[in-house]
């Protein structure tokens, strides 16, 4: 009984590991009939990132500093009830 469970676990683990590899190696059936896809010519670089990278970095640094200040607050908040 125990060896059966171990064997099933090993089979399940190996199938989880090998499934992506086998799926990647498989060629589509219709690839022989369709021409290869090519990319369009690019004239200039895209500005998808935007110019807000510095603003995001400053806000992230401010959030980290605020978190440290809140965590290191030395107030002694002991309850007043017995």
The upper half-sphere exposure of residue 9, i.e. CA atoms within 13 Å in the direction of its Cβ, equals: 6
**What pLDDT score was predicted for residue 65?**
92
The rounded distance, in Å, linking the Cα atoms of 11 and 64 is 46
> What pTM, to 2 d.p., does this model score?
0.34
- pLDDT averaged over every residue in the chain: 76
How confident is the model over 22-43, as pLDDT tens digits? 777 666 655 555 666 777 887 7
Phi, psi dihedral angles at 66 (to 5 degrees): -65, -40
* Angle at 73 (CA atoms; ends 71, 79), nearest 5 degrees: 100
Token code pair at residue 30: 């219709």
Give the separation between CA 25 and CA 20, rounded to whole angstroms.
9
């Amino acid at each position: 009984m125990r060896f059966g469970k171990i064997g099933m676990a090993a089979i399940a683990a190996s199938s989880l590991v090998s499934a992506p590899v086998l799926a990647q190696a498989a060629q589509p059936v219709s690839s022989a009939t369709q021409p290869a896809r090519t990319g369009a010519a690019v004239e200039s670089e895209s500005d998808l990132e935007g110019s807000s990278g510095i603003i995001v970095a400053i806000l992230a640094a401010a959030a980290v500093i605020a978190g440290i200040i809140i965590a290191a607050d030395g107030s002694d908040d002991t309850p007043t009830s017995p």
